[in-house]
Amino acid sequence: MASIDDDKKAAAVAAVAEVRDGMLVGLGTGSTAAFAIQALGERVAEGLQIRAVVTSEASGKLARELGIEILDFATIAQVDLTIDGADEIDSRCFAIKGAGGAMLREKIVAAASARMVVIADGSKRVDRIGAAKLPVEVLPFAIAYVMRVLTDLGAAPTVRDNYRTDQGNLVVDCHFATLEDPRATAATLAAIPGILGHGLFLDEVNAAYIATNGVVTRLERMGASD
């Protein structure tokens, strides 16, 4: 029986097989993304010619140690393929991300990508996203105001203890009683001054590789979802 880490690695290796010579690759954040960075590093050591951008300082450090050339994302307008983890993913390719606090950079890199694939072990596959905590990145200046608004929205917000993002901001974990209309929730969060980003990925994910007990399944977005 495969362990969770075996499954994370299997999903990562399947996604890394999509990488071709000459690509500019977006590297996600988290334990599953780290398996992808490792697998990509092995292919680079074997001669694969790619360059990459990263979604966190931690992923950048790991990738550099493995000999992957990292470009400054501030100079990059388009990425070919991004590989990243998720906290939940459903059949619509809707995802919740950000347990590791990297969702703002992850969303930007995903938006800049021609293709984004999520990699996950089977525990992340759900019928409908919504059970996982939904993180939002908040400008510290705005925290009291944002907490009041999120409380009024019924988001049960909690500020993540002793945590700052790579940009020096706070993360507030939310939990809505239902997430029946994720697009409405995403729009509401995006409209609150002081919230810089949130972990709902509704349009970014093109496909997912999900491994359960060593078997990798590919989920492909079928077109517009709601």
Ligand X SMILES: O=C[C@H](O)[C@H](O)[C@H](O)COP(=O)(O)O
Please list every residue from 46 through 75 that binds ligand X, using CB under 6 A.
Answer: none
Give the residue with the Cβ less far from ligand X, 60 or 98: 98
Give the residue with the Cβ less far from ligand X, 51 or 160: 160
Q: Which residues contact 30 (CB under 8 A, 6 or more apart)?
A: 84, 85, 99, 100, 102
DSSP code of 13? H
Block residue for tokens 């997430």: 179
The binder of ligand X chosen from 10, 12, 14, 32 (CB under 6 A):
32
At residue 31, the 3 state secondary structure works out as: helix
Residue 221 CA to residue 226 CA, distance in Å, equals: 12
Judge whether 80 and 24 are in contact, CB under 8 Å: yes
The binder of ligand X chosen from 29, 59, 82, 206 (CB under 6 A):
29
- Could you list the beta-strand ranges (E) of 31-157: 51-54, 79-84, 88-89, 95-96, 113-121, 134-138
At residue 56, the 3 state secondary structure works out as: coil
Nearest-approach distance from CB 97 to ligand X, in angstroms: 3
Annotated catalytic residue, options 18, 42, 65, 106: 106
Please list every residue from 167 through 206 that binds ligand X, using CB under 6 A.
Answer: none
Please list every residue from 96 through 135 that binds ligand X, using CB under 6 A.
Answer: 97-103, 106
According to the binding rule CB under 6 A, does residue 26 interact with ligand X?
no
Question: Is 106 tagged catalytic?
Answer: yes
Give the residue with the Cβ less far from ligand X, 30 or 194: 30
Nearest-approach distance from CB 27 to ligand X, in angstroms: 11
Catalytic residues: 106
Residues at the interface with ligand X (CB under 6 A):
28-33, 84-87, 97-103, 106
